Amino acid sequence: MPLWKVYHPAGAYTPEDKQAFAETMTEIYARFMPRFYVNVLFHEVDENTLYFGGKSRNNFVRITMAHIARDFSSEEGSRRFIDAVNKLIAPWVKDRGFDWEFHIDETPFDLWSIQGFYPPREGTPDEARWIAENKPSPRTHD
């Protein structure tokens, strides 16, 4: 499951912006995993509550991503993804004059569940069913 947390200045995004941003983030994953895996949380940061090097920053967007369903097997793969994310988020950060930063944490696949189900492995019939149905269900294959 990708979990995105977007920390942004108060009032930076309308509800419509957040919806479009979340849909765009989901699309980067939807080609190879169930859409419902993608969780996005927006956190407004009040003025003078974000500091870098002891100095307040009021024009900054910080994004953290937790990847659980997949991991990067190579530096080349992670760089491709990072470049894609920078391009994807540009309309909501760069094009609006915000500075930004993001990082990705990877959690071992075996340390999560969804609604009490162990998620299926990549490329399995169970995963294909989860993608098609866009919801979790019991695994029928190991």
Q: Is residue 138 included in any domain, yes or no? A: no
CB 28 within 8 A of CB 4: no
CA dist 80 and 141 (Å) reads 31
Q: What own/partner pairs with CB < 8 Å and gap ≥ 24 does 34-39 have? A: 34/127, 34/130, 34/131, 34/134, 34/135, 35/131, 35/134, 36/134, 36/135, 36/136, 37/1, 37/2, 37/69, 37/114, 38/1, 38/2, 38/4, 39/1, 39/2, 39/3, 39/4
- The domain in which residue 94 lies consists of 2-111
Q: Is residue 116 included in any domain, yes or no? A: no
* Count of structural domains, the chain: 1
Residue 38: what pLDDT? 95
Instruction: Name the pTM for this structure.
Output: 0.90
Q: Is residue 11 included in any domain, yes or no? A: yes
CA dist 126 and 107 (Å) reads 21
Residue 131: what pLDDT? 93
HSE-CB of 93 using CA atoms within 13 angstroms: 18
Q: Is residue 25 included in any domain, yes or no? A: yes
Q: What angle do CA 71, 75, 80 make, to 5 degrees?
A: 80
If DSSP codes are grouped into helix, strand and coil, which group holds residue 118?
Answer: coil
Q: Is residue 28 included in any domain, yes or no? A: yes
Per-residue model confidence as pLDDT tens for the chain (142 residues): 899 999 999 999 999 999 999 999 999 999 889 999 999 999 999 999 999 899 998 999 999 999 988 888 889 989 999 999 999 999 999 999 999 999 999 988 889 999 999 999 989 999 999 999 999 999 887 7
Q: Is residue 120 included in any domain, yes or no? A: no
Residue 85: what pLDDT? 95
DSSP-assigned beta bridge partners for residue 39: 3
CA dihedral defined by 17, 50, 83, 112, rounded to 10 degrees? Answer: -80
Q: Is residue 121 included in any domain, yes or no? A: no
Q: What is the CATH number of the domain that holds 80?
A: 3.30.429.10
Q: Is residue 82 included in any domain, yes or no? A: yes
